[in-house]
Amino acid sequence: MKQFIITGTHSEFEFFVKSKLKAFPVLYERKDFIYVPGPDTFFGHEEVGGWFYGSWRERKDILQILDILSIKAKMPYMVTLKNIFIEYGLQYP
């Protein structure tokens, strides 16, 4: 499954990917990671999972991203997503 990386900037995404590839060279390839520049990145994907990294909380579109993730995220990502919803004072569906 592709790993969607939600960061505040593209440079944070690049740093994250380089770190993962260095730490787990057998587990991941560069093509496994997808940068999320906006909520529409998830369209066309049935199951989504990945990481929040860096300054993702400062994104202007984070609520739209969370809304889409609440529909498309699969276990075990749902546990983390529920905690993020609580952090934002939102009701998890």
User: Would you state the pLDDT for residue 47?
Assistant: 81
User: Would you state the pLDDT for residue 76?
Assistant: 62
Residue 76 or 85, more confident: 85
* pLDDT of 7 strictly over 70: yes
pLDDT in tens, 25-82: 999 999 999 999 999 999 998 888 899 999 999 999 999 999 898 888 776 667 778 8
Cα separation, 12 vs 54, whole angstroms: 6
* pLDDT of 10 strictly over 70: yes
Contact between residue 90 and residue 62 where contact means Cβ atoms under 8 Å apart = no
Cα separation, 7 vs 18, whole angstroms: 14
